[in-house]
Structure 1
Amino acid sequence: MSMKFKASSLAAAVSAALCANAWALEPQSIKLSDGLTFTPTLQVSERYDDNFRAVENNEESSWITGITPTFKLAAEGRKSAYALTYSANTDIFHSSHADDNTDHHLTADAGFEFDSRNRLKLAAGYHKIEETASQDQNVENDKYTTANVGGVYTFGARTARTQVDVGANYQELRYQNGDNLNADKERDTTALNSIFYYRVAPKTKALVEARHTDYDYVSNTRLNSNNVALLAGLTWEATAKTTGTVKFGGEKKRFDDSSIDDKSGSMWEVGVEWAPRTYSTFGLNTRRGLDEGDNGASSIESQSTTLSWNHEWLDRLSSNVSYTYTDNEYQDIRRTDKIDTFGLGLTYEMRRWLDIGVGYKYSENDSSVAGESYERNIFSISATASL
């Protein structure tokens, strides 16, 4: 399966879809002292995956029990806020116990408001992941860690006509597979960006954003490169029942190795929510951009679009429907993947502290490379509890 570095994000999105609207839960925190709280939650799920390796031939299926405790420690001051969150996602494969694994996620966030014009947000994280849907699943599941640290500084009052964001983020990707499996994918990523906002209406701002991302590979130095992007667009809040951000522009990828041609193309990022009723929300998210390569490709030109609908049928009953289409064009090799993903979830808020969810997810990859296509069905039921 391609683009392993993004698999953890995809897994989180899939989990959210399967468990439907986990946001219905209203956890109660334990007050440890003035301004310091502790919030534990627990999710237990049972799902059936008819192709958990996401392969075209020799599919393997299994019932999978998921257990995910989450612990959050939060503190708030007059002009600052802090949060430390840890979760452990354990999957037990009843038909293949050799694939049992536990993913670990640790994040730390801090926010500071020095005065009305100066604000700072900091974030750091460490994630240890094992993927059964791996490119080299016949050898060993992908096992990797990511570590990141970054922040965004904002200058300009919230009500001012202009604002500026300046951000930086550093991330490391490392694999723990044996025999140097996946060692060619290990890299360090340094990203810088700046956004200039100009208010054009009471709740609408025009924006211009510049980005620079440097990819430094540990051993596969042939793929060392930097991406430069320039985007312009709008962001707005609660205008005519919609909220969203749209950005359009271009991106160029320059490789340090002169034997690899530079890549360039159009780029966009759109996220819009439309709420015709307070209990019903439609969403559109679409993106086009250059991602890091895999399977011999120097890079991947990726375009994806997600349509979603969240609806509250009753005070305690809500549903989520989503459809995602992804088109990945591998650069410098002959491969194109077209992926369709459909998700359906239903959540019943049994108590303030207990949600029951059922879900279904179907995904299909139509690849131009023989042996890389697949179909996958996942059925699930889950319970999410808090204090």
Structure 2
Amino acid sequence: MYKLTPLALALSLLSGYAVAQSAPNAAIPQAVDIYTLKEQVDPDGAMRVGSFYLYPTVGITFGHDDNVNAVNTNTKSSSVFNLSPSLLLEQLNAAGDTYSLGYRGSYTRYTSSSKDNNDTHEVQGQVAIQYDPRLNTLFRAGVLLDSDARELTDRPESDRPDKYRNTYANYLVGYGANEAPGRVEAEVKYNNKRYTNNRSTTLDGDLDAFDLAGRFFYRVAPNSQVFVEARYTDFDYKLATPDQDSTEQRLLLGYTWDITAATQGTIKAGNLKKDFTSNTRKDFNGLTWEGNAKWMPVEYSTVELTTRRATDDSTGTGDYIKNRKYGIAWTHKLTDLFSVNLAYSDIHNDYVNGNRLDKIKLYSVGVGYDVRRWMKMSLEWKTADNDSTVRASSYKRNVIMLNTQIGL
């Protein structure tokens, strides 16, 4: 029986999964795809462990943050250190199926603000199986221990960041040969999010989220497809008051392309309807879109574009948040070893029935140096400027970091 190669299998499965994962509601933590762990330094750097390949990496970062808490007054400035190890154990069998188990950690320490120290852990398993040239599946499950960035919530400030545990699982099945005119996909996802500290202010953030999605792809050119996507999400908050239970229905029309390495991306737009169980909250029914694209005008220069318009759940202010984002990033290789990076994002967060509008601008400038095949270094400066109609929520923040990434 003919089977796809491991690379073709991964591309056929993960391309559809990326379409589904591009821009979830911010209430649901975004899991990291363990496939990306082996690409942080060198995807060929691996240790043989029996029938498996082990990809270990570690990141070391030193820097300075002039507004650790992202506040308007009484700012804290601190030096910061971060250690981020990761491991990926992967098996590719003769049939083209893949079995993966990964771990990533991030340990952050502030010299002048120890209460903001934070540890992140994520363990994730993944199984991709190709049953025949038309039928393939992807199963992913994991546990993420993390905390909310202070600037991403509007809860009363606590001494320590709000920590949570998110347990998740999703199953994707696709039917349609890799070069067939049509392909269908169905997906089910589940997230269980529970906060583990500051319970007087985080209790209303505990939730279960259940998501169903279906897509039909139709090939209009050898390397491009149009598709229709329908998605349903149920948000079940554990605290009855305030009642934030809601459902979201999306119907989207999209286009995805991968024309060699020069240009690739996905754009989709359509209608989003958000219905709250409570009659005291305002529903939403309107335009939504999600998009990301990469363009390489020349082989040593890459431009990436991202955009989003959707709703996010409230963490205290308003009924919900209407979010609109545009972003652009440019990476240019000066030589085989040196590169420069520029990025800019423009974000609007409108707190519906909350009398608040945040206009956030993010800038970053960096230089990179490939010290060895297995070692990369970069120096990066990032700044955030939040201009809010609520003065106490406005802030400016500058972070400068020296990063080192080491693999095999």
Q: Specify if TM > 0.5.
A: yes
Residue 63 of structure 1 deviates from its aligned partner by 0.4
- In terms of mean alpha carbon deviation, does 130-139 or 195-204 score higher? 130-139
The correspondence of residues 107-186 of structure 1 with structure 2, limited to 5 A, is 107-131=124-148, 133=150, 135-186=155-206
Residues 6 and 55 (structure 1 numbering): CA distance in 2 closer, same or farther, change over 3 Å? farther
**Among 203, 209, 213, the residue aligned to 1:189:** 209
Residue 140 of structure 1 deviates from its aligned partner by 3.4
Equivalents in 2 of 1:5, 1:46: separation in Å? Answer: 30
1:256 aligns with 2:269: no
The secondary structure found in structure 2 opposite 1:223 is coil
**Among 247, 259, 265, the residue aligned to 2:268:** 247
**Among 59, 64, 71, the residue aligned to 2:75:** 59
Contact 1:308 1:321 in 2 (8 A): yes
Residue 49 of structure 1 deviates from its aligned partner by 0.4
Equivalents in 1 of 2:406, 2:303: separation in Å? Answer: 27
Q: Which runs of 5+ in 2 are unaligned?
A: 1-24
Structure 1 residue identity aligned to 2:185: D
Equivalents in 2 of 1:339, 1:7: separation in Å? Answer: 21
Equivalents in 2 of 1:204, 1:259: separation in Å? Answer: 44
Equivalents in 2 of 1:132, 1:286: separation in Å? Answer: 21
Contact 1:27 1:386 in 2 (8 A): no
Residues 27 and 377 (structure 1 numbering): CA distance in 2 closer, same or farther, change over 3 Å? farther
Q: Which has the higher contact order (CA 8 A, sep 6+)?
A: 1
- In terms of mean alpha carbon deviation, does 219-228 or 42-51 score higher? 219-228
Equivalents in 2 of 1:25, 1:90: separation in Å? Answer: 23
**Among 394, 399, 404, the residue aligned to 1:373:** 394
User: What is the TM-score when the length of structure 1 is the normalising length?
Assistant: 0.91
1:286 aligns with 2:301: no
Deviation sequence 1:21-47 (CA, Å, 0-9, x none): x8454562110113x111211111101
Equivalents in 1 of 2:286, 2:300: separation in Å? Answer: 39
Residue 132 of structure 1 deviates from its aligned partner by 5.8
Residue 133 of structure 1 deviates from its aligned partner by 2.1
**Among 70, 73, 82, the residue aligned to 2:89:** 73
Contact 1:26 1:353 in 2 (8 A): no
**Among 230, 239, 248, the residue aligned to 1:210:** 230
Equivalents in 2 of 1:266, 1:186: separation in Å? Answer: 28
1:337 aligns with 2:358: yes
1:298 aligns with 2:298: no
Structure 2 residue identity aligned to 1:75: Q
Equivalents in 2 of 1:240, 1:359: separation in Å? Answer: 26
Equivalents in 2 of 1:70, 1:88: separation in Å? Answer: 6
**Among 101, 121, 135, the residue aligned to 1:84:** 101
Task: Tell me the residue number matched to 2:16.
Answer: none
Deviation sequence 1:134-157 (CA, Å, 0-9, x none): 643344321112111002110000
Contact 1:302 1:327 in 2 (8 A): yes
Structure 2 residue identity aligned to 1:210: A
Residue 7 of structure 1 deviates from its aligned partner by 7.5
Q: Kindly, what percent of the aligned residue pairs are identical?
A: 30
Residue 163 of structure 1 deviates from its aligned partner by 0.3
Equivalents in 2 of 1:271, 1:363: separation in Å? Answer: 22
Contact 2:186 2:215 in 1 (8 A): yes
Task: Tell me the residue number matched to 2:345.
Answer: 324
| Structure with the higher strand share, 1 or 2 | 1
User: What is the TM-score when the length of structure 2 is the normalising length?
Assistant: 0.87
Deviation sequence 1:182-237 (CA, Å, 0-9, x none): 11111111111111111112212111110100000001461111000101021111
Contact 2:254 2:268 in 1 (8 A): yes
Contact 2:378 2:403 in 1 (8 A): yes
Equivalents in 2 of 1:213, 1:57: separation in Å? Answer: 38
Q: Which runs of 5+ in 1 are unaligned?
A: 17-21
Task: Tell me the residue number matched to 2:407.
Answer: 386
Residues 229 and 8 (structure 1 numbering): CA distance in 2 closer, same or farther, change over 3 Å? closer
Contact 2:41 2:407 in 1 (8 A): no
- In terms of mean alpha carbon deviation, does 295-304 or 41-50 score higher? 295-304
Contact 1:185 1:220 in 2 (8 A): no
**Among 101, 110, 113, the residue aligned to 1:93:** 110
